[in-house]
Amino acid sequence: MESKEFSRCRRKLNKTQKQMAQLLGTSLKAIHSYEQGWRSIPAHAERQLLFLMSKQLERRIPRKPCWEIKKCPIQMRSQCPAWEFNSGDYCWFISGTICECKDRTRWKDKIVLCRSCKAFGKLRQAIEQE
């Protein structure tokens, strides 16, 4: 996640930098550094911010589970944690999901794939709209 995207998400959540620091369990100085691009945004902060954005979005736009959007065969579904935990609308948040027939163990690898996926699309659109 880039600094401008982080800042845009914070504004869409209608939070001050101080409030965002409290939500993410970090310092106000860290939030300033993320938004200025002085510091890279850690994976845990990115995940939590995207989770908050997603929760806000779900109030307005109903979503389908990822396995319906991607038309995953039942054999693949049964091996995927998103299916196991009935969390197909949060597949991007769950590590170890089987997307493109491969599991992604590192967040940075996984989120790159997720950003190009239709299941993540509504969240991506909500973030990109100013």
Read off φ and ψ for residue 98, nearest 5 degrees: -105, 90
pLDDT (tens digit per residue) in 1-55? 899 999 999 999 999 999 999 999 999 999 999 999 999 999 899 999 999 988 8
DSSP line for 8-65: HHHHHTT--HHHHHHHHTS-HHHHHHHHHTSSPPPHHHHHHHHHHHHHHHHTTS----
The whole-angstrom separation of Cα 83 and Cα 125 is: 24
- Domain map (residue ranges) of the chain: 1-60, 63-130
Question: What is the rounded (10 degree) CA torsion for 72, 114, 63, 127?
Answer: -170
**CATH number for the 1-60 domain, one of 1.10.260.40, 1.10.287.3510, 3.40.800.10, 1.10.3300.10?**
1.10.260.40
pLDDT (tens digit per residue) in 52-94? 988 888 777 777 888 998 898 888 888 889 999 999 888 888 8
pLDDT at 130 over 60: no
pTM above 0.85, yes or no: no
Q: How many residues does the chain have?
A: 130
